[in-house]
Amino acid sequence: MSDHAAHPVQPPTIFSRIIAGEIPCHKVYEDAHVLAFLDINPLSPGHTLVIPKEARPTLDLLSDESSAAIGRVLPRLCRAVMRATGTTDYNVLQNNGAAAHQVVMHVHFHIIPKVADGRGLGIGWTSRAFDHAAGAALAKTIAAAM
């Protein structure tokens, strides 16, 4: 059994209800695997959500097929949002798990334009010193987990 098959499909979320057409959305793109629509609580004009139609809570549980479908369309959607909003700067945000600020437990990517008046995503980033020996060991462990 594949690792993907070991994980049951998630219970319905607001996104699965949008996919099913039970809740309306302002759709900007749809294909067999992906739906993109405007966020109804935007950080800036053009804030777009990109979701797989496959219901999985986190990116690590998403099938290769759905992941590839998002990867193919995400750059095109970013370009379209920038053209439509007249912005050149943006963030693509994707959270996994409640502790990582994920609210809807269905994989989703945010395309968030950064506009001249400052609207958009604000980030606090506290970097730490890098331990090269520990980093080398961790890189080997991650590579072995592939």
Active site residue 26: no
Question: Alpha carbon 99 to chain centroid distance?
Answer: 16
Round to whole Å and give the CA distance between 113 and 47. Answer: 6
Helix (H) or strand (E) holding 48: strand 48-52
Which among 106, 108, 110, 132 is annotated as catalytic?
108
Q: What three-state secondary structure class fits 94?
A: coil
Round to whole Å and give the CA distance between 62 and 64. Answer: 7
| Exposure string over 105-120, b if 16+ CB within 10 A, otherwise e | bbbbbbbbbbbeeebb
Q: Which residues are catalytic?
A: 108
